Amino acid sequence: MSSLIVAGGVPLSGSCRISGAKNAALPILAACMLLDRPVWLTDCPRLADVDNMLRILRTLGCHTAYEGDRLMVDASRAHNHMLPEQLTKALRSSVFLLGPMLARLNRAVVAYPGGCEIGQRPIDLHLQGLRQLNARIHEEGGSIRCEGDRLIGADIHLDYPSVGATENIMMAAVAAEGETVIRNAAREPEIMALQEFLCATGFSVSGAGSSNVRIQGGGAPRSATFKIMPDRIVAGTLLAAAAITGGSIRLTNVVPEHMTGILAKLRESGCAITAEDAALTLCAPERLREIKLIETLPHPGFPTDMQAQIFAVCTLARGTSVIVENVFENRFKHALELGKMGADCTVRGRMAIIRGVETLRGARMNACDLRGGAALTIAALAAEGESVVQNAEYIDRGYECFEKTLCALGAQVVRKA
């Protein structure tokens, strides 16, 4: 396992272009299974999770290759309906392949997916939705067996606006007879990106971004070149890093409308933020103010994937901040690690109370999950002395060359194997 060695006390400054979004790329890569011809993706981030998804696609018979700055995926020879257990255990998003495999191969066998241990993330809504499309699903021995030789469109109401379930049902429904309507669908920007990809490759989907998504079965699949949307969580993380260090940065290749919840809380902390068409500029005050209340919620609320990073920001803010985690019940592991740096925080179930301190001190910490690892790193940027963030591989799952990005903004971060 590798570590990030961080020398704190340097305000971030400069400009950075944001890469494509992991949470958009993974379902789009899964959707490539729907096509019997190649597609090209631009701005696809080179991340550990993306690499794992490409490995899974290759075991299914797909051909993948980087051609300059484009990623080519050709699923024309896809034939294997069994997902490799070792890779699916390492990648939560492997569950996205259930819908496309049912649509393309009429069957799928997959082990229960893995990923970061941030709480219960049941896939019941995925399976219920696929069953309503007339898929036959059997769960046995730690694996899920699906058959769907005749998928039929349905009116599906999700009990919770699950991003993954919405995406999985969308991908299966393009092969179903008739129309499918997903009600109480997730509204995240990544849902809109998947709709744009499906429409670009010949399918008929509408309504993404609202609570009702409509999919017309059938279509005429075609090749396409598609750009992955910018990563709003990477952008938010870098803004948080600039805020906690008292810095000033400009981000390009962003969609400010995707980040309204994040920007509102950073402004509440005292940061001056200017939004342009595809750029954001943040200037932090000498010391941040407390953020009275942050509640993680489905989009357009504050994203759970930014909770740990805003937690880190609050550790140095003047006053007391409160965070309520409504999405995952076990997503405060970073609190204990931040305490090693002198952070004053108390966790009670799904609520964290953070009393801002004057300074953080360098410490040796363990990243326990992807976003928590990023939070420890940005806290270390603002701490006195040197910090070590162990288990940096977690961070690699969602940030492309994180230490290089930070160094380009003036930080002093070195990776050590």
Among 32, 116, 146, 271, which one carries the catalytic annotation? 116
Instruction: Give the DSSP letter string of 176-187.
Output: SBSEEEEET---
H helices of 79-231, in order, are: 85-90, 98-105, 124-132, 163-173, 189-200
The residue type of 245 is: T
CA dist 106 to 111, 198, 238, 352, Å?
Answer: 17, 19, 43, 46
Instruction: Give the DSSP letter string of 255-323.
Output: -GGGGHHHHHHHHHTT-EEEE-SSEEEEE--SSPBP-S-EEB-STTSB-GGGHHHHHHHHTTSBSEEEE
Which of the 8 DSSP states describes residue 318? B
Is 116 annotated in the active site?
Answer: yes
Angle between helices 370-382 and 307-314 (to 10 degrees): 20
CA dist 194 to 26, 27, 123, Å?
Answer: 10, 7, 19
Which two three-digit tokens encode residue 280? 């954001």
Which of the 8 DSSP states describes residue 144? E
Q: Are 405 and 399 in contact (CB under 8 A)?
A: yes
- Phi, psi (deg, nearest 5) at residue 31: -65, -20
Helix (H) or strand (E) holding 51: helix 48-59
Question: Would you name the residues annotated as active-site residues?
Answer: 116
